[in-house]
Amino acid sequence: MSALPPGSTIGILGGGQLGRMLAIAAARLGFNVHIYSDTSGPAFDVCVAHTLGAYDDSEAVAAWAAKVDVVTYEFENVPLAAAAAAASKKPVRPNARALEAAQDRLAEKRFLESLGLAVAPFYPVDDTASLASAIDAIGTPAILKTRRLGYDGKGQARIATPADAGRALEAIGNAPAILEGHVRFDCEISVLLARGIDGATASYDIPLNTHVDGILATSAVPGPLSEALAARAQEAAARIADALDYVGLIAVEMFYAGKNAERPLVVNEFAPRVHNSGHWTLDACAVCQFENHIRAVAGWPIAATARHSDAVMTNLIGSDVNDWLTLAGEPGACLHLYGKNEARPGRKMGHITRLQALSSKIAG
């Protein structure tokens, strides 16, 4: 397919802050954005049109898709039936295979392992008996995670000793799950890779990510990886994207176990979408993750991912956002607010990226 010309309409499933930043990037390239969402959200303020509908209303999704030129999404839990309904009208990018692999932790782990990538030891868990077998096989400490719909550390329970098993199953509501061995790591990183419809790929520099209460707190570049290890991490992400015939921006979260570890990079999970750990690209790169995602899904060439500044992105969670006026006055800081009116605890209200002159990469 040839490139979509400016003036075409990009359909985005989901109306949150990622949809908002995608819509802004799309507008810069002369596209219109039509959002489909089940609730009014931050993306509604910046799009040309929006449709309110349930994600499991395949007929409504198909009718919406018929009105746009290409369909993409800003969250990975788009029902597969909705993706199929949209695909019956227009190309869906990234394709449904990426959604399918990312929606189920068991399928995801098996897929990553099939590509020869290092993952935490894992074992499927459906009930008390299979959890006991899993603990026998993997040992403790371990983490019980629901197969579906977990995010920001939700749907997870730590198992320090086998005696925690019953409580952990209860904590995740006895949902189908996997038990994962606890990975000993130095820090967490993520690869942000864009892949075009011609299969060309480009990765951003790899940030160091920190979390508080299971929610991303900061992403900083340069990160901790040597050039050689960064190349290996980027190659792993490209292998995932190639295997899925992926089009768009993919985020691959990894544990970094230190340069002397037997397996320095262990893949945790991937998100088939733009990602919070790539928000610094808005201010520290000529072309950000959002624009490269839009370029990819529109069939345009992927633009250079080079970074012109060092950066630390800090999420503004809940009441953090109340400091907006002070933050707005801070030299060298780029403030992004998502237009959400209620600063509930744990809610991502905005982020701020602090830029510094480019340093040389840390050798490791």
Residue 208 binding ligand AMP, by CB under 6 A: no
Minimum distance between the CB of residue 102 and ligand AMP, rounded to whole angstroms? 12
User: Among residues 167 and 211, whose Cβ is nearest to ligand AMP?
Assistant: 211
SS3 357: strand
Q: Nearest-CA neighbor of 358 among 289, 279, 285, 292?
A: 285
Phi and psi (nearest 5°) for 129?
-65, -45
d(CA 316, CA 336): 9
Residues 260-319 that bind ligand AMP (CB under 6 A): 268-269
Minimum distance between the CB of residue 212 and ligand AMP, rounded to whole angstroms? 11
User: Among residues 81 and 183, whose Cβ is nearest to ligand AMP?
Assistant: 183
- If one counts every other C-beta atom within 10 angstroms of the C-beta of residue 327, the result is 19
**How far, in Å, are 4, 39, 197, 202, 250 from residue 301 at the CA level?**
11, 33, 8, 11, 16
d(CA 317, CA 299): 35
Minimum distance between the CB of residue 71 and ligand AMP, rounded to whole angstroms? 26
Residue 211 binding ligand AMP, by CB under 6 A: yes
User: Among residues 123 and 290, whose Cβ is nearest to ligand AMP?
Assistant: 123
Give every CB contact of residue 63 below 8 A, 6+ residues apart in sequence: none
- In b/e form, how buried is each residue of 244-267, taking b as 16+ CB within 10 angstroms? bebbbbbbbbbbbbeeeeeebbbb
Among 120, 189, 265, 297, binds ligand AMP (CB under 6 A): 120
Minimum distance between the CB of residue 164 and ligand AMP, rounded to whole angstroms? 15
Minimum distance between the CB of residue 345 and ligand AMP, rounded to whole angstroms? 18
Minimum distance between the CB of residue 178 and ligand AMP, rounded to whole angstroms? 10
Residue 180 binding ligand AMP, by CB under 6 A: yes
Structure tokens at 93: 């990018």
Minimum distance between the CB of residue 181 and ligand AMP, rounded to whole angstroms? 6
Residue 153 binding ligand AMP, by CB under 6 A: yes
Residue 146 binding ligand AMP, by CB under 6 A: no
69: which strand partners? none
Among 53, 79, 124, 150, binds ligand AMP (CB under 6 A): 150
Among 27, 48, 175, 183, binds ligand AMP (CB under 6 A): 183
**How far, in Å, are 32, 113, 160, 183, 233 from residue 140 at the CA level?**
51, 21, 6, 11, 27
User: Among residues 28 and 158, whose Cβ is nearest to ligand AMP?
Assistant: 158
Minimum distance between the CB of residue 125 and ligand AMP, rounded to whole angstroms? 14
In the chain, the largest separation of any two C-alpha atoms, in whole Å, equals 60
Residue 139 binding ligand AMP, by CB under 6 A: no
Number of residues that bind ligand AMP (CB under 6 A): 13
Q: Nearest-CA neighbor of 230 among 285, 305, 292?
A: 305
User: Among residues 205 and 253, whose Cβ is nearest to ligand AMP?
Assistant: 253
Phi and psi (nearest 5°) for 183?
-90, 130
**Of 18-26, 177-185, 278-286, 327-335, which segment contacts ligand AMP by CB under 6 A?**
177-185
- In b/e form, how buried is each residue of 299-315, taking b as 16+ CB within 10 angstroms? bbebeebebebbbbbbb
**Of 108-116, 176-184, 222-230, 307-315, which segment contacts ligand AMP by CB under 6 A?**
176-184
Residues found near ligand AMP in the complex (CB under 6 A): 120, 143, 150, 153, 180, 182-183, 188, 211, 214, 253, 268-269
